[in-house]
Amino acid sequence: MKVEKNISLLPYNTFGIDAKADLFIEYYSLDELRQVLKEHKGERILHIGQGSNLLFTRDFNGIILHSGMARARFLDDETVEAQNGLRLDDLIAQLTDMCYCGMEKLSLIPGEVGASAVQNVGAYGVEAKDVILRVNTLDVETLEERVFTNEECRFGYRDSAFKHELKGKYIVTSVVYRVKPGDATKTREEIIETRNGKLPKIGEVGSAGSFFMNPFVPEEQANALLAQYPDMPHFETPQGVKIPAAWLIEQCGWKGKTLGGAQVWPKQALVIVNANHATAEDIIALAAHISQSVKEKFNITIIPEVNYI
């Protein structure tokens, strides 16, 4: 187990915010995780992955917990179990090399396996929920293992029960994915190329990816908007008409605009970046201005995907 006191969280969040934490603990087995949870019962704990969807708004008075467990193994020909601390893209790279497919459209999404289930990550029409069979967890209170079936995770768009009623109660320890034999090399390469062309590269430019979720509006509202903006991209879904938040933000003229050190990424309006030593306040203020102008222009509320801590 690795334990560090009074640390900077700079290496642990992709936005590049220099917040501090009282304690950082990395565990390497379920027994170590149980030991930490037992010793620090009742204390404020935040389990992080790669920190690629977090915005530390202030110093964290508590324990930042991280998994150093990063192995994957086949349970049978079509199921693979990956530990929470393995980078999702490393898993997909390994599977592609071994000629297994099913997850390749999630290539290059930052973050670890544990958070892939919490966030129900998605890209190019595939979401983690489409390939997750079950999620193994540890109950923070009883320290017992509990398995959640795909259905029990109540996955939704960038959403799961782990963000709501199960939040803070269970730590995802491993995820079981369904895969199948097949060559995904070409798709993976194409996706990597596309993503590298439009998204900021981690380590070069600070960001948390898409800052806002795409909103869903009732059909009547979508029709009224389409009368005014015939080119508006829109997708009919069971939850309502989905309108890309990037389009809404771009229409409000935000692409490339800056506030303090924060900037709307010039290549993709949905992404806010840390362009020049941004503080969390800069990012929060820019996000608030963006959502206010989208509300005023389109009467649509856009909600951050990023977790404010």
Ligand X SMILES: Cc1cc2nc3c(=O)[nH]c(=O)nc-3n(C[C@H](O)[C@H](O)[C@H](O)COP(=O)(O)OP(=O)(O)OC[C@H]3O[C@@H](n4cnc5c(N)ncnc54)[C@H](O)[C@@H]3O)c2cc1C
Instruction: Name the site residues for ligand X (rule: CB under 6 A).
Output: 14, 46-54, 84, 109-112, 114-116, 118-119, 121-123, 158, 162, 171-172, 199-200, 202, 207-209, 307
What is the Cα–Cα distance from 235 to 222, expressed in whole angstroms? 10
DSSP annotation of 309? -
Least separation in angstroms between residue 31's CB and ligand X is 16
What is the Cα–Cα distance from 191 to 174, expressed in whole angstroms? 25
What is the Cα–Cα distance from 211 to 190, expressed in whole angstroms? 24
- By beta-carbon proximity to ligand X, the closer residue of 46 and 226 is 46
| Catalytic residue flag (residue 210) | yes
What SS3 state is found at 73?
strand
- By beta-carbon proximity to ligand X, the closer residue of 77 and 193 is 193
- By beta-carbon proximity to ligand X, the closer residue of 133 and 140 is 140
| Catalytic residue flag (residue 174) | no
User: Nearest residue to ligand X, using CB?
Assistant: 49
Nearest alpha-carbon partner for 184 in 119, 131, 135: 131
- By beta-carbon proximity to ligand X, the closer residue of 114 and 261 is 114
Least separation in angstroms between residue 224's CB and ligand X is 30
| Catalytic residue flag (residue 71) | no
Catalytic residue selected from 107, 116, 210, 291: 210
Least separation in angstroms between residue 77's CB and ligand X is 27
Say if CB 71 and CB 30 are below 8 A apart.
no
- β-partners of residue 149 are 134
Exposed e or buried b per residue across 125-164, where buried means at least 16 C-beta atoms within 10 angstroms of its C-beta? eebbbbbbebbbbbeeeeeeeeebebeebbbeebbbbbee
Catalytic residue selected from 158, 160, 188, 207: 158
- By beta-carbon proximity to ligand X, the closer residue of 163 and 234 is 163
Beta carbons within 10 angstroms of residue 234's beta carbon:
17
Least separation in angstroms between residue 164's CB and ligand X is 11
Say if CB 48 and CB 85 are below 8 A apart.
no
Least separation in angstroms between residue 39's CB and ligand X is 19
Query: Residues with catalytic annotation?
Result: 158, 210, 305
